[in-house]
Amino acid sequence: MDQKQKAQIVYGSFDGMTSAISIILPMLLARNLNHLFVVIVSLALGDGFTMAWGEFLADDSTDNHERYDHALLMGFATMLAIFLPAVPFFVLSSGWAFLVAAGMVTFWSYQISKMRGRTGQSADLVYGGVIIVVLISLAAVWITH
């Protein structure tokens, strides 16, 4: 995997995760996950397409096949990262689902920091920041229930 492909995965998956969490948390706090599947599918299709299209337009490669590959990788990574945090909410109760989703987001964020080549203190700052956000979100859910 070359550096450009890693960048597609990193940026697409990070965008997808943050988009999914920004939808799941308000629905969870409102105690209304009834339409989560429809919302996640809509978000995945819309965000995945726009991330792929944006990558295709921004790619400066002269090889159209390479541009398509990069765009598809970006779109797929975005869609997959949107679906992953939502999956626990389809099979577990909301409290457990949130813990599993938070763990997935935390783990993947750490992997993203490693894929970007960050090591040592830089990777720890990315990972620590995500842990703090997850803990704050968990506290907000716990307080409102």
3-state secondary structure 12-30: HHHHHHHHHHHHHHHHHHC
d(CA 64, CA 15): 24
Predicted TM-score (pTM) of the model is 0.71
Residue the block writes with tokens 């819309």: 46
- Residue 102: what pLDDT? 80
| Domain containing residue 123 | 3-144
What's the total number of domains in the chain?
1
What the block records as the tokens of 58 is: 């921004």
pLDDT tens string 14-34: 677 777 776 776 677 667 778
